[in-house]
Amino acid sequence: MLSITPIPAFADNYIWAITNLARSRRAIVVDPGDAAATEQFLQQSGLDLAAILVTHHHADHTGGVVELADRYHAKVYGPKNDLIQGITHPVGEDDEIPELIDGVCKLRVLAVPGHTLDHIAYLGDGFVFCGDTLFAAGCGRLFEGSPAQMHNSLQRLAALPAETRVYCTHEYTLSNLRFALAVEPGHAAVQQRVFDEAEKRDAGLPTLPTTISLERSTNPFLRTGSREVAASAERFSKLSLQDELEVFAALRRWKNDFR
C-alpha cells in the first residue's frame, strides 16, 4: 500500500515521504528543507532514497536537496528555476513523472504560481503535494505572484476531486482557523473544524493531510463566492468589492496583518 508519512522539520515544516513498503524499500521525499531530519527518517526506516520532489525555491523546502541527492544518488524533480541547486529533472505544467518506485503511481505537474512564480504542485492518484500554495484553512503569502495568479492557482486546486488528500508543507492550521473564524464567525463547519483540529494537535498529531472537500467548506480563500466571506472582506477593506478576485485580494491583505 502506498503511504505518505510526515517528517517534521524546523518549527512547523513537514517533509513528506512516499513509500510502498510491500513493494520497495525506496522512498520519495517532497521538499526536504532539512537533510539531517530526512536522513534520520530514512535510516530509522531502513530506506533508500529514490527521488526528491521540490515545489518551489524557498530554502525551507530546498535546503537539504543537494546533500541528500549526492548521498543517495537520487533524482531531483523541481521547477525550471536556476535559483534551485541540484534539480536533475526540471518540470512544469502538465509534465508527467513516471513511476519513480515500485507501487507508486505516476505524478502530474500543475503550475500553481502565486506564493512564488516558480511554484508547482504534484498530483497523484487521489493526493496532491501543494507546498506553500494551499494550506489547511489558508494559503501561502504572495511573495512573488499577483493576487490573480494565486487566486487562479487555488481555484485549480479547488477543482480537484473532493476526496483528494492535500499534503501541505506547514502546520499552520490552528492559526489559519482563527482567521477563518474572523472571516466567517457564523459558519458552523469552521467552528466544528476548530474543535476537530485542536483535538489532533492536543494529541500531538499533524492536522494534515486535509482534503479538497474540507477546504472548499472551511477555507476562506476558497470561499470567495460566499456572501459572508465577501461581506467580511468589504468590511475589512472598506471597499465595495466587484468580484471573487477582489474578495480574494482583500482577504489576503487582511490575513497578512491578522494576529
Q: What would the x/- binding string for Fe ion be over residues 54 to 83, using CB under 5 A?
A: ------x-----------------------
Task: Assess whether 115 carries a catalytic annotation.
Answer: yes
SS3 for 166-233, per residue? EEECECCHHHHHHHHHHHCCCCHHHHHHHHHHHHHHHCCCCCCCEEHHHHHHHCHHHCCCCHHHHHHH
58 binds Zn ion, rule: CB under 5 A: yes
Task: Assess whether 170 carries a catalytic annotation.
Answer: yes
Q: What share of the chain is helix, strand, coil (3-state, %, to 5)?
A: 35, 20, 40
Find which of Zn ion, Fe ion, none residue 57 binds, CB within 5 to 8 Å per kind. Answer: none
Task: From 52-60, 107-115, 198-206, 225-233, give the range in contact with Fe ion by CB under 5 A.
Answer: 52-60
- Tell the residue number behind the cell numbers 487566486, with chain if given: 151
DSSP string, 24-54: -SEEEEE----HHHHHHHHHHHT-EEEEEE-
Q: How far is the CB of 140 from Fe ion (least distance, A)?
A: 8
User: What is the 8-class DSSP label of residue 56?
Assistant: S
Task: Assess whether 48 carries a catalytic annotation.
Answer: no
Q: Which is nearer to Fe ion, 171 or 184 (by Cβ)?
A: 171
Q: What would the x/- binding string for Zn ion be over residues 129 to 158, using CB under 5 A?
A: ---x--------------------------
Task: Assess whether 56 carries a catalytic annotation.
Answer: yes
Marked catalytic residue, from 58, 119, 151, 187: 58
Find which of Fe ion, Zn ion, none residue 39 binds, CB within 5 to 8 Å per kind. Answer: none
Nearest to 166 by CA among 125, 190, 136: 136
# residues near Zn ion by CB under 5 A: 2
Q: Which is nearer to Zn ion, 143 or 162 (by Cβ)?
A: 143
CB 177 within 8 A of CB 191: no
Marked catalytic residue, from 34, 60, 118, 187: 60
Marked catalytic residue, from 31, 34, 115, 118: 115
User: What is the 8-class DSSP label of residue 120?
Assistant: E
Find which of Zn ion, Fe ion, none residue 31 binds, CB within 5 to 8 Å per kind. Answer: none
Task: Assess whether 60 carries a catalytic annotation.
Answer: yes
Q: In the window 90-149, what residues touch Fe ion (CB under 5 A)?
A: 132
31 binds Fe ion, rule: CB under 5 A: no
CB 102 within 8 A of CB 20: yes
Marked catalytic residue, from 34, 57, 61, 118: 61
CB 148 within 8 A of CB 112: no
Marked catalytic residue, from 34, 118, 132, 187: 132
C-alpha cell at 13: 515544516
Q: In the window 233-252, what residues touch Fe ion (CB under 5 A)?
A: none
User: What is the 8-class DSSP label of residue 256?
Assistant: H
Which residues of this protein are in contact with Zn ion, per CB under 5 A?
Answer: 58, 132
**Catalytic site residues?**
56, 58, 60-61, 115, 132, 170
